[in-house]
Structure 1
Amino acid sequence: MSPAPAPRRCLVTGANRGLGLAFVRQLLARGDHVVATARHPGKATALNTLAGEYPGRLHVLPLDVADPKSRTAFVRELPLVADGLDLLINNAGVLHSGERFGQVPMAQLDDSLRSNATGPFLLTQALAPQLADARPEQGRRGAIVANLSSVLGSIASVDGFHTPSYAISKAAQNMATALLAQVLAERGITVLALHPGWVQTEMGGSGAQITPQQSVQGLLRVIDNATVADSGRFWDWQGQSLPW
């Protein structure tokens, strides 16, 4: 009988609801150690309840990925609760609904890019020293960076003028994934762009196709099965390759 895998040191951004909260629940259920972030931890009731249920295994810290000061403070504080990272899930993001051509405001484009592309890229860059290197001689794989993207960021899949600021920012995030995969390859770190499907969250709406639990179960299977050879690729929650 093979030994149980060692607990992973995980970071989930935007973890106070939806997919982020589902990731935290499932990672904790697996026995992993989790740092979960929210812009306003005091209001993250579900996260704080979980922290009480998993003392020492869940730490809730403040982070606004779009804000430089918040990122700097978080990167400084993280080593106090985690001695490295095996899994970074860049989940935090925004979607501005109701945009129409001719009426897309610059503020929404800027906010989308900061939250969905620039912020996650700069956070990953700042956390790079804390990402675990592969140690083949010890049987240890390198860290995985999972960027929660969207099929709406696939240029090849565009079929109309849909959620432009979100789509543009997710396409930019996909490029960030490809670039990070290149620069982190020598350390054996895998970087993935992941489409979670159409999920029943505040962002996806109640009419969406799958629950956050179903999406995260699938996404964790993709993450678990990924190797360095898959780094820089774009997958959906069922493990299907997506076009850029």
Structure 2
Amino acid sequence: MPDRTESDRHCLVTGANRGLGLEFVRQLLVRGERVVAACRQPGRATALNMLAGEHPGRLHVLPLDVTTARSRDELVRELPLVLDGARIGLLVNNAGVLHGGERFGQVAEADLETSLRTNATGPFLLTQAVAALLADGADRPGAVVANLSSEIGSLARRHEFRTPSYAIGKAAQNMGSVLLARALAPRGIRVVALHPGWVRTDMGGAQATLSAAEAVTALLQVIEGLGADDSGVFLDRQGQALPW
């Protein structure tokens, strides 16, 4: 991962208490990174806190509910104390929500609103809030903002009515990724939307084809392989472009 093993950079992962978020934290720590792991209830994040004990000084766990302004603002206040003058080299916007079993005619307004707040609005506003702490690109690559998206958010690939609140939320998140890429381009910061595949997590279910470890390994390779101009793109875990 270019330049993120430098001692003056951290990784920030949201939704880090389980699933893909927890696996990102694990693998980044193995690579020698310093990580800030954010989740809604750190006190209940047993696996995450065990990792913090195993990696003293390299993993900090902070509270974050990405859907609320107060929680985002509190994280922004806490981050400089944890970063101690460092910058964020990788932001993984992983926190998300999926409502299963939705049927046309019975889709709830509350589920649509929750999906938009969690999957689209929250990551966009969090990135905006921490933008000043992201590493600029000058003589070396700038920060990468990796938004965990889904091919379900691809308009071109929707051929059936399925998980509408999640699909709408991820489609909106994809637009947010493109806009953030444009806003942060002058600073050499790249923003990408990444589809991890069908992963065995609480969200993906036990029948999914990929383990969290397989998915994260592939996604980190995609992030490592990003070129200077690879921003505002929608990629799968092989690094192949997906249609919007």
Give yes or no for TM over 0.5: yes
2:210 alignment counterpart: 210
Distance in 2 separating the partners of 1:241 and 1:222? 11
Q: Which sections of structure 1, spanning at least 5 residues, go unmatched? A: none
Any residues of structure 2 matched to 1:27-42 within 5 Å, and which?
27-42=28-43
Shift of 1:4: 10
| 1:160-207, Cα deviation, whole Å (9 max, x unpaired) | 001000000000000000001111111000000000000000000000
| 1:191-240, Cα deviation, whole Å (9 max, x unpaired) | 00000000000000000010000000000000011123110000011111
Shift of 1:51: 0.3
Residue 100 of structure 1 aligns with an amino acid whose one-letter code is R
Residues 5 and 33 of structure 1, relative CA distance in 2, 3 Å threshold: closer
Determine helix, strand or coil for the equivalent of 1:11: strand
- Contact 1:190 1:227 (8 Å CA) reproduced: no
TM-score using structure 1 length: 0.96
Shift of 1:118: 0.2
Percent identical across equivalent pairs?
A: 64
1:155 alignment counterpart: 155
Residues 36 and 242 of structure 1, relative CA distance in 2, 3 Å threshold: same
Distance in 1 separating the partners of 2:73 and 2:110? 23
| More displaced 10-residue stretch of structure 1: 90-99 or 77-86 | 77-86
**CA RMSD, 1 decimal:** 1.2
Any residues of structure 2 matched to 1:155-194 within 5 Å, and which?
155-194=155-194
Residue 231, structure 1, aligned to residue 231, structure 2: yes
Determine helix, strand or coil for the equivalent of 1:156: coil
| Structure 1: 4+ residue segments shifted above 6 A | none
1:50 alignment counterpart: 51
How many residues align structurally? 239
Distance in 2 separating the partners of 1:169 and 1:227? 28
Distance in 2 separating the partners of 1:38 and 1:4? 22
1:112 alignment counterpart: 115
Shift of 1:141: 0.9
1:133 alignment counterpart: 136
Distance in 1 separating the partners of 2:132 and 2:183? 13
